[in-house]
């Protein structure tokens, strides 16, 4: 089945409703982004002591939650982006190299922070910073990268990409 892939309008590129009108091939990634943004907000608030339980107990809860999300979703998500989406974009979309480099650096920074999160030291600053980094990273993908994909990647290739992402990211029952 051939689907058109011009499903967004410029207005929606700046919407906070990240999953609305997203190209079908990107929906699994956007689904993770949706959960990631909610977690990022909780982390920033926890780091600032704005949600209960406050103090060390709450920080440990957020650290555990972040690590679980990382293991359950982000490991495969980063792999799918780095091995499937980013190479396709690099090959097909002129001028997005710098953005892709920046996104890979964000992934690396998040990966490198996981041992520190496990160690559980300096959690208030770490949890806030990770929430901030994760949110900025997701916004860059949703507001800059995905609209480029939708407007510049040809339909057949977008379809192929969607199938590969599904293989990597769909939960196995």
In angstroms, the CA 156 to CA 154 distance is 6
Tell me the window of 12-20, 138-146, 150-158, 162-170 that interacts with Fe ion (CB under 5 A).
138-146
Check the CA dihedral 112-118-120-121 and report its sign: negative
Task: Please say whether the beta carbons of 48 and 3 come within 8 A.
Answer: no
- Closest approach of Cβ 74 to Fe ion, in Å? 8
Whichever of 81 and 135 has its CB closer to Fe ion, that residue is: 81
Whichever of 100 and 117 has its CB closer to Fe ion, that residue is: 100
Cis peptide upstream of residue 53 (ω within 30 degrees of 0): yes
81-100 residues near Fe ion, rule: CB under 5 A? 81
- Nearest-10 crossing angle of helices 27-47, 55-69: 170
Whichever of 50 and 102 has its CB closer to Fe ion, that residue is: 102
Considering the rule CB under 5 A, would residue 142 count as an interface residue with Fe ion? no
Taking CB under 5 A as the criterion, the residue among 37, 62, 80, 141 binding Fe ion is 141
Residues 6+ apart with CB under 8 A from 50: none
Element (H, E) at 162: helix 155-169
Tell me the window of 15-23, 63-71, 74-82, 115-123 that interacts with Fe ion (CB under 5 A).
74-82
Residues that bind Fe ion (CB under 5 A): 81, 141
């Amino acid at each position: 089945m051939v689907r058109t892939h011009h499903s967004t309008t410029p207005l929606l590129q700046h919407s906070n409703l990240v999953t609305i009108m997203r190209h079908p091939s990107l929906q699994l990634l956007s689904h993770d982004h949706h959960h990631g943004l909610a977690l990022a907000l909780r982390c920033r608030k926890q780091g600032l002591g704005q949600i209960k339980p406050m103090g060390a107990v709450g920080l440990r809860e957020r650290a555990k939650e972040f690590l679980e999300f990382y293991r359950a979703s982000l490991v495969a998500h980063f792999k799918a982006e780095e091995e499937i989406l980013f190479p396709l974009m690099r090959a097909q979309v002129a001028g997005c190299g710098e953005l892709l480099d920046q996104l890979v650096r964000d992934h690396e920074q998040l990966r490198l922070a996981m041992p520190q999160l496990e160690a559980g030291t300096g959690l208030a600053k770490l949890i806030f910073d990770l929430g901030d980094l994760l949110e900025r990273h997701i916004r860059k993908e949703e507001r800059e990268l995905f609209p480029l994909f939708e407007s510049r990647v040809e339909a057949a290739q977008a379809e192929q990409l969607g199938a590969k992402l599904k293989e990597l990211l769909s939960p196995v029952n």
